[in-house]
Structure 1
Amino acid sequence: MDLQTIFAEFVGPNIVYLLLAAFIIICIMAGVRIVPQSEKYVVERLGRLKSVLGPGINFIVPFLDKVRHKVSILERQLPNMTQDAITSDNVLVQVETSVFYRIIEPEKTVYRIRDVDGAISTTVAGIVRSEIGRMELDQVQANRSSLIAAVREQVAQQVDDWGIEVTRAEILDVNLDAATRSAMLQQLNAERARRALVTEAEGKKRAVELQADADLYSAEQEAKARRVSADAEAYATQVVAVAIAENGLEAAQYQVALKQVEALNALGAGEGKQTIVLPANALEAFGNAFNMLKGKS
């Protein structure tokens, strides 16, 4: 038998079953969709949204349902954008921003917005200009974190209707024109000079205060010393007064005579002073002292 005869005997009567089997295989292949982990499929039925297929094995109705859009759900980064903005004190700045986002509802992204990246870029630019317009230049430089938080919050609210989640929005740099930079540099140098003068003046003031404190302390110590000396003299006077009151005037005269004798002895004890010139009343002092001593004994 030739091949034509074999085909006619075996295939001919079963052609219907073979075609039916082929149709079933084609339907199965057309009805099964395996979606990768990083994507979601948007399915339409006769031109209308039917469903969104998630990662894994999914089944659709062959020939009626069709996968129209394959959307990546990975996080995306927009190209860095630079836009001009004017602060509340009329300073022109150039702000460089970067935005990260991901699609969480593909059906909204597909049917509500045509150019996602362009729409987000325009939204971010408008929000940045609006926020910077409320701040002065110094506030923009000092409160960058709060500015970033405000931009991120407003961008997230604006893109919510597009099925997009903004994961990060960063302000990378705030640049100034040459004239503004020069003016700020002059202001910075003037501020540094002012601080140096203030520091020097405060140093001199502190030195004067310390010197005044030292003088005051010295005066206080000298006054204390004088007061102690005066107290000692007053005490000695008081002792003499008590002695006079208790022993009479002769005791005082006796003490004076003894002091005179001690003074004469000290004068004669020095070297090269063998010849002593005595005052006229010196002998009288000796006599008085001797008489008093004799009287006490």
Structure 2
Amino acid sequence: MNNQGIGLSGGTIVLILLALLIIVAVFRGIRVVPQSEKFVVERFGRLRSVLSPGLNIIVPFLDRVAHKVSVLERQLPTSRQDAITSDNVLVAVDTSVFYRITEPEKTVYRIKDVDAAITTTVAGIVRSEIGRMELDQVQSNRSQLINAVKTHLADQVDDWGIEVTRAEILDVNLDEATRSAMLQQLNAERARRAHVMEAEGRKRAVELQADADLYAAEQVAKARRLQADAEAYATSVVAEAIGKNGLEAAQYQVALKQVEALTALGQGTGKQTIVVPAAALESFGNAFQMLLKGRNA
């Protein structure tokens, strides 16, 4: 009975070991990949497959997960590159790059230090692009420089299974001597603009004054023209009256004016006595006679 008990115990152990082996195989063959990662699977040291997020099955004891790669977007630390512009100005450019891994099998087998490789590549691209631009272009066309860096960087890191999502030029720094020279140039430009604006103001004032003088002259000429037209009209009326009524009409008008003048003279304050020459009295007499004839007529 002892031997039979021992035999049963041995079979039971085998079954238990077999069950444990199956359980271990199941656990080693099932891989759950998080949403933010991808797993690189190797078989005997060679690339077998890349597991996507979710539930995956591999061959236990033959396949193994060699690399777990995050596919989240990454930001490189801000780096500074020295570059010389086409007009021989030394600048220090602060850059920052954002990227994510899209093909982990390329990243883990083709490049060792991704961050260092991208940083070095960015430095070369920035120096090359800035070397083609003048300092004013670097400062004013920063978006153009950013697009150039992103485009060239995307082309060069494509073999590494990386997608460059964004590249930023954070700052363009100058040395103290260059800053001082630029400040002097800026002040000179401001002074020049101020002088130009002042000169334009004086010119505009002269133009406005000339326009005002011209307008005044035109108005005076217009007034004189109207006065001349009025005098010409009065003359024509008198001439027409003379033509119709003869010389007596003109003498009548003269006599009327003389009487009006004598009346106004007599109405002046402090002039009770008026001395009139005899010739004037004769003229006034003729004027009164003309007036009487004119009224009787």
Q: Which amino acid aligns with 1:176?
A: L
Q: Which amino acid aligns with 2:134?
A: E
Equivalent residues in 2 for 1:46-125, closer than 5 Å: 46-125=44-123
Structure 1 position 21, deviation (Å) = 1.4
Show CA shifts across 1:224-253 (max 9, x none): 111111111111111111111111112111
Larger deviation, residues 225-234 vs 17-26: 17-26
RMSD, aligned CA: 1.8
Structure 1 position 197, deviation (Å) = 0.8
Q: Contact 1:82/1:97 (CA < 8 Å) preserved in 2?
A: yes
Structure 1 position 295, deviation (Å) = 4.1
Structure 1 position 39, deviation (Å) = 1.1
Secondary structure in 2 matching 1:40: strand
Which residue does 2:254 correspond to in 1? 256
Aligned length: 295
Which residue does 1:16 correspond to in 2? 14
CA distance in 2, matches of 1:117, 1:6: 67
Which residue does 1:281 correspond to in 2? 279
Larger deviation, residues 285-294 vs 161-170: 285-294
Percent identity over the alignment is 76
CA distance in 1, matches of 2:64, 2:278: 149
Q: Contact 2:258/2:287 (CA < 8 Å) preserved in 1?
A: no
Q: Contact 1:76/1:102 (CA < 8 Å) preserved in 2?
A: yes
CA distance in 1, matches of 2:277, 2:112: 132
Which residue does 2:25 correspond to in 1? 27
Q: Which amino acid aligns with 1:196?
A: A
Q: Contact 2:39/2:66 (CA < 8 Å) preserved in 1?
A: yes
CA distance in 1, matches of 2:45, 2:234: 126
TM-score norm. by structure 2 comes to 0.95
Which residue does 2:157 correspond to in 1? 159
CA distance in 1, matches of 2:175, 2:26: 65
Structure 1 position 5, deviation (Å) = 9.8
CA distance in 2, matches of 1:83, 1:7: 80
The answer for unaligned runs of 5 or more in structure 1 is none
Which residue does 1:230 correspond to in 2? 228
Structure 1 position 143, deviation (Å) = 0.8
Q: Which amino acid aligns with 2:198?
A: E
Q: Contact 1:39/1:72 (CA < 8 Å) preserved in 2?
A: yes
Show CA shifts across 1:206-234 (max 9, x none): 11111111111111111111111111111
Q: Which amino acid aligns with 2:37?
A: E
The answer for unaligned runs of 5 or more in structure 2 is none
Q: Contact 1:84/1:95 (CA < 8 Å) preserved in 2?
A: yes
Which residue does 1:41 correspond to in 2? 39
Secondary structure in 2 matching 1:152: helix
TM-score norm. by structure 1 comes to 0.95
2:242 equivalent among 227, 241, 244: 244
Secondary structure in 2 matching 1:28: helix
Equivalent residues in 2 for 1:127-206, closer than 5 Å: 127-206=125-204
Cα distance change on mapping 1:20 and 1:283 into 2, 3 Å? same
Structure 1 position 10, deviation (Å) = 4.7
Q: Which amino acid aligns with 1:18?
A: I
Structure 1 position 279, deviation (Å) = 2.9
Show CA shifts across 1:57-95 (max 9, x none): 211111111111111111111110100011111111000
Q: Which amino acid aligns with 2:260?
A: E
Show CA shifts across 1:259-286 (max 9, x none): 1111111101111101112133222122
Structure 1 position 293, deviation (Å) = 3.6
Structure 1 position 13, deviation (Å) = 3.3
Q: Contact 1:261/1:285 (CA < 8 Å) preserved in 2?
A: no
Secondary structure in 1 matching 2:257: helix
CA distance in 2, matches of 1:203, 1:6: 122
Secondary structure in 2 matching 1:49: strand
Displacement over 3 Å in runs of 4+: 4-10, 293-296
Cα distance change on mapping 1:269 and 1:29 into 2, 3 Å? same
Structure 1 position 15, deviation (Å) = 2.4
Q: Contact 1:92/1:176 (CA < 8 Å) preserved in 2?
A: yes
Cα distance change on mapping 1:273 and 1:193 into 2, 3 Å? same
Show CA shifts across 1:137-182 (max 9, x none): 1111111111111111111111111000111110000001111100
